[in-house]
Amino acid sequence: MKWLFGRGSSRGSGSAATLDREFVALTDIGVKRDENQDAVLATRLPGSRIVLAVADGVGGSHDGAAASHLALECVEEALQDTHHADTGLIDAYALAHQEVGRLGSGERRPATTLVTALVHGSRAWIANVGDSRAYLADSNGLRQLTEDHSWVADQVRAGKMSPDEARRSEMRNVITRAIGTSGDEGPDITGPLVLTPGDTLMLSSDGLHGLVSAEEIADVLASDDLESAAHELVQLARKAGGPDNISVVLYRPA
């Protein structure tokens, strides 16, 4: 794995990482893919804010890598001067949806999932479209903050499929909402969450949480070293077969 460290920000494909006092972001091509269509973002914004994001170019779409990178560019641009976290995230997703939608048309329209955390002081807001996820590890354990927009998640919510059946289903990668596709339902917004020292936010693509169990994630996030934790999570996904690109962003308040 090639480690590329920036100065507090990262937006990349291939194998890349960024390290900061409070956050680390890592994306890896995995074991079986020829291209990394994931992208990660972790950077500081004006007003002592931090934005974190993971985008996963939709498998099978034309130029998913371009879609994921453009979505993160739109998020960073839109959040530069916003003073209201929830409406700012809604506006950022609208811009990403619009700009990614312009990359193509018809059946070859690029698309991407997108999960974002906007952190200001001790509070965090989460936005998501698709099946990339946000988790929080705190004194109560690990919990998933987002709900997947996917066919199997809909089946589980409707009581037609168990979580174990969903994980094994051949339809598990079919998402029902994405940035850049027709229609614009906007993101789900969660927050504000109150973070305390020792809490850890994790954003990930399904190439990680689809292979690494919640128990394994919780154990790794107990580490005091965010860099080592991110590296270990990626390695666990690779050891589990790494059939997809793998991305993780971790944040822990100082």
This model's pTM is above 0.75: yes
Mean pLDDT of the 32-52 span? 94
Q: 70 lies in a domain?
A: yes
Residue 147, C-beta contacts closer than 8 angstroms, at least 6 positions apart: 128, 153, 157, 188
What domain range is 21 assigned to? 16-141+178-251
Q: 89 lies in a domain?
A: yes
Q: 149 lies in a domain?
A: no
Give the helix/strand (H/E) hosting 7. none
Quick: pLDDT tens for 136-175: 999 999 999 999 987 776 677 777 676 766 666 566 667 8
What pLDDT sits at residue 13?
42
Judge contact between 100 and 114, C-beta under 8 A: no
CA distance 39 to 73: 10
Least confident among 51-55, 122-126, 151-155:
151-155
CATH code for the domain of 46 = 3.60.40.10
Q: 125 lies in a domain?
A: yes
Q: 212 lies in a domain?
A: yes
Pairing of strands 23-28, 38-45: unpaired
Of the candidates 56, 119, 20, the residue with the CA atom closest to the CA atom of residue 247? 56
What pLDDT sits at residue 42?
96
Tokens of 156: 């589980």
Q: 34 lies in a domain?
A: yes
Q: 244 lies in a domain?
A: yes
For 66-129, the DSSP string reads: HHHHHHHHHHHHHTSS-S-HHHHHHHHHHHHHHHHHTT--GGG---B-EEEEEEETTEEEEEEE
Number of structural domains found in the chain: 1
Q: 84 lies in a domain?
A: yes
pLDDT band at 62 (very low <50, low <70, confident <90, very high): low
